[in-house]
Chains A and B, each alone.
Chain A
Amino acid sequence: NFMLTQPHSVSESPGKTVTISCNRSSGYIARNYVQWYQQRPGSPPTTVIYEDTQRPSGVSDRFSGSIDRSSNSASLTISGLKTEDEADYYCQSDDDNSHVVFGGGTKLTVL
């Protein structure tokens, strides 16, 4: 099976843009869709991006997702950072046997 590797933490100032990467260790990143979840303490995850680039209804257009085939990675970009964006973010995909894989999570600090 493959692994999804994320930076442990990132920090940025309000109003700026931050990008969180998610590197797939083996197999093509584009072969299976990637999702991104936001999780605040004490709450279950919520989707901010699904199927690589799609944004659920109600999620701000400040959130965007992309795939980079050259680095075999997915990325989550948050623009116009707000203090309310401070949370943990997880990427997720699956393999050809329907096994779900999560990245290790990235703690976003908005300072």
Chain B
Amino acid sequence: QVQLQESGPGLVKPSETLSLTCVVSGFSIRSGYYWGWARQPPGKGLEWIGSIYQSGSTYYNPTLKSRIIMSVDTSKNHFSLRLNSVTAADTAVYYCARRAVVGAHINTWGQGTLVTVSS
């Protein structure tokens, strides 16, 4: 059974870089899905951040594209997110997820990790 687990700092200072990693277990990251990140500010809706394929091809949310770098490490079966120049508006629960290549169904989610941007 595939499981996703986010890890990373829960507190980031303004203007610094938010870094998160998602470890995939029970499934090979090479097996033909997109791997991605979503976030949800407290009390608000879901926002998709971006996706990465096993080859390293990326598909970033246009509104965040200038601040995002996503990467994948197939040897460690994990993928990562870096979001730079953060502000309080980036405070959110960050989820990693697996989505289908055809149809975009997000069929597996991590439990989520709260990242707070504050000095």
Contacts and interface: CB of A to CB of B under 8 A. Distances in A.
Q: Is the interface of B mostly helix, strand, loop or mixed?
A: strand
A105 B45 contact: yes
A93 interface: yes
A45 B109 contact: yes
A94 B36 CA distance: 13
Given A44-B112, A90-B46, A105-B46, A99 B61 contact: yes
Interface residues of B, number: 22
B27 interface: no
A-B CB proximity, top 9 nearest: A94-B104, A44-B109, A100-B48, A105-B45, A33-B103, A50-B105, A98-B59, A102-B46, A104-B45
Interface of B: 34, 36, 38, 45-48, 51, 59, 61-62, 95, 99, 103-107, 109-112
